[in-house]
Amino acid sequence: MKTFENLNLSDEIITTLNIQYIKEPTKIQRLCIPEILKGKNVFGEAKTGSGKTLAFLLPILEKTNPNNEVQVVILSPTRELAMQIESVAHALNTPLKILSVFGGRDIQSQMKKLKNPPEMIIATPGRFMDLYERKLINLNTVKCLILDEIDQLLEMGFRDDIIKINKWCVQKNQTLGFSATLSKSAKKLVYALTDTPEFISAEDDGYEQSHIAKDVVFTTPRGKFADLCSYLNEENPFLSIIFCRTRRRVDQLEVALHQAGYNCMKLHGGMPQSKRQQAMKAFRDLKIQYLISTEVAARGIDVTGVTHVINYDLPESPESYIHRIGRTGRVDQRGNTVTFVNEDEKKAYEDILNAINNQLK
């Protein structure tokens, strides 16, 4: 039987999971949890929505004690993901103090909270370094450094920051990392952090995002907005993320949809932190039906019940397509996606589909 009991987790954690209807570990969880408990330097690769967050949080919470020392540092590429990891950790009913720190949020209050050190810090690299350099975080007690969404951390240019932070954790004895894909540069980074990585892939999970329906609408730049509205009116998505290529495109689409009477908000990296948080909260609380976002802002975000992912602009690569559609159909749910493709993008769209099909083979 595939149960959490077989993975050597404590009864407390298993009870909490059961309350959340989480009964069977996913493949990446089954493979990684025992190894992490043994102290191995695990680097896990598994598709979006396959449960990577719990794959590292569950064993790490077991290994951490409430002692007012920073023992675990989790680095996240975005503020939204840092907050999400924090809330998943809190929901596990742990006695540990957990703090997320990231730019854009009031640094004074974060400084105050650090006076009584949390056992676990979840941070974006920039703010984390800032606080460390102000001597507000003692990293001499850190035992474990975790990188979530390694590929994206690299894409966002955090490579050197990660290496620095890694050096600061002088007593560290475990390094973990997770990503939907582990690119060559990700593996290179891994070897810069530890000599003894254990790569674990749950690629062959039989999970092929086949529970996600993939539609396409061929359109023109001029007709796109009207086509989007027709699609929305026909489908009436319960909860949907609409992806645009740039912040500007997000801004424009938000105004247009808003004027057309759709219940929407926007999310991108150029917005003030308070606005970003408001949008995420409204979306999670089902106060809005549509979140219009750049891809970067939505990376790793897990909102239960997203029924439709809409690619208003074509994703730039197969990886980004997979990331985007992974926002729906999370573990065992059904999902829908639609991609709007202009005449001159047909070739690029086909290339994406072919790349994905080849990857699955």
Question: Is position 49 an interface residue for ligand ADP (rule: CB under 6 A)?
Answer: yes
Q: Determine if residue 206 is left, alpha or beta; phi over 0 gives left, psi from -120 to 50 gives alpha, anything else beta.
A: left
Q: Is 25 one of the binding residues for ligand ADP (CB under 6 A)?
A: yes
Distances (CA, A) of 144 to 79, 102, 253, 275: 20, 19, 42, 32
Report the residue number, 88 or 213, with the smaller CB distance to ligand ADP: 88
Least Å from the CB of residue 165 to ligand ADP:
21
Binding segment for Mg ion (CB under 5 A), chosen from 24-32, 44-52, 166-174, 283-291, is: 44-52
Does residue 179 touch ligand ADP according to CB under 6 A? no
- For ligand ADP, what does the binding mask look like between residues 291 and 330, x meaning CB under 6 A? -----------x-x-------------------------x
DSSP-assigned beta bridge partners for residue 176: 146
Residues 6+ apart with CB under 8 A from 296: 78, 152, 156, 268, 269
Q: How far apart are CA 328 and CA 220, in angstroms?
A: 26
Contacted by 320, from Mg ion, ligand ADP, none: CB < 5 to 8 Å by type: none
By CB under 6 A, the residues from 51 to 110 that bind ligand ADP are: 51-54
> Shortest approach of Mg ion to residue 235 CB, angstroms?
27
Dihedral sign, CA of 129, 327, 46, 4? positive
Q: Within its chain, how far is the Cα of 25 from the centroid? A: 19
Q: Is 139 left (phi over 0), alpha (psi -120 to 50) or beta?
A: alpha
Evaluate whether 311 touches 142 at the Cβ level (below 8 Å). Answer: no
- Tell me, residue by residue from 5 to 24, as one string, x for binding to ligand ADP by CB under 6 A and - for no binding: -----------------x-x
Is residue 52 a contact point for Mg ion (CB under 5 A)? yes
- Chain residues that interact with ligand ADP, rule: CB under 6 A: 22, 24-26, 29, 46, 48-54, 302, 304, 330-331
- Chain residues that interact with Mg ion, rule: CB under 5 A: 52, 300
